[in-house]
Amino acid sequence: MEGSTAATSSRSSHGESELFCGCGIKSPLRVSKSEQNWGRRFYGCVNYKTKLYCGFFVWEDTLIGSKGTESIDLQPSHAELQRTISDLQRINSELQRTNAELQRTNAELQRTNSESQSTNYQFCKQVDEMERRIEGLKFNNKELQEQNKMLKLTISRRNGFFCHLPIMVGILCVVYYLYQVQKNVKCLSLP
Ligand SMILES: [Zn+2]
C-alpha cells in the first residue's frame, strides 16, 4: 500500500518537515524493514496496527520528490531574475549614454542661447542707433526743405528783378534823354 496523505504538514523551528496524521499526532520518521522496501523511510500514523489507525502513511522519498520539484520550480524564476537584472543593466547603461548626450546637447544649446542673446542685444542696439539716425535725417530733411523753399523764393525774386531790368534801363534812358533835351532848350532860349 502506497499510503494515505490525509495529513497536515508544517515546518519545525529547525526547518525539518513535521507531518501530522489524521489523529492530529506528529508522525515520526521510520525505516521500512519489509522485503520490497528495505531501508526506505516513511511517515505513518503512530496508531498503526490499532483500532485508532487513521490510515496515514507516506514514503519520505515521495516528499523529497515534491521538495525537488519546488526547488526545480525556483530555477527558472532565478534565471528569469538574472535575465531581468542584465536587461535592466543594459537599459541603465543606455539611459546613462542618452543622459550624457542630452547633457552635451543642453550645454550646446545654452552656449548658442547666450550667443544669440548677445547678438540680439547688439542687434537691438544697432536698431536703436538706426532709429536715432533716421530721426536726425528726418529733421535735416525738413530743414533742407525749408532752405530749398527759401532759395526758390529768392531765385524767383531775382528772376523778376532781372526781367524788369531792361524796362527800368529803358525808362532811365528816356528820362535822361528828356533831361538833356530840356537842358538844350534852356541853352537855346538864353539870349
Ligand atoms: Zn493517525
Q: Where are the domains of the chain?
A: 8-87
- Report yes or no: 59 and 19 within 8 Å, Cβ to Cβ: no
pLDDT of residue 38 exceeding 60: yes
Which has the closest alpha carbon to 36: 56, 59, 53, 57? 59
> Which of 50, 48, 61 is closest to 17 using CA atoms?
61
Give CA angle at 45 (42, 50), nearest 5°. Answer: 130
Distance 41 CA to ligand 1 centre (A): 17
Integer Cα distance of 156 and 175 in angstroms: 28
Q: Kindly give the distance from the C-alpha atom of residue 127 to the centroid of ligand 1, in angstroms, as a whole number.
A: 104
Q: What grid cell was written down for 35? A: 522485503
Q: Quick check: 19 and 6 in contact, CB under 8 A?
A: no
Mean model confidence pLDDT for the chain: 83
CA 64 – ligand 1 centroid, Å: 21
Q: What is the pLDDT of residues 96-124, one digit of tens each?
A: 999 999 999 999 999 999 999 999 999 99
pLDDT of 73 strictly over 60: no
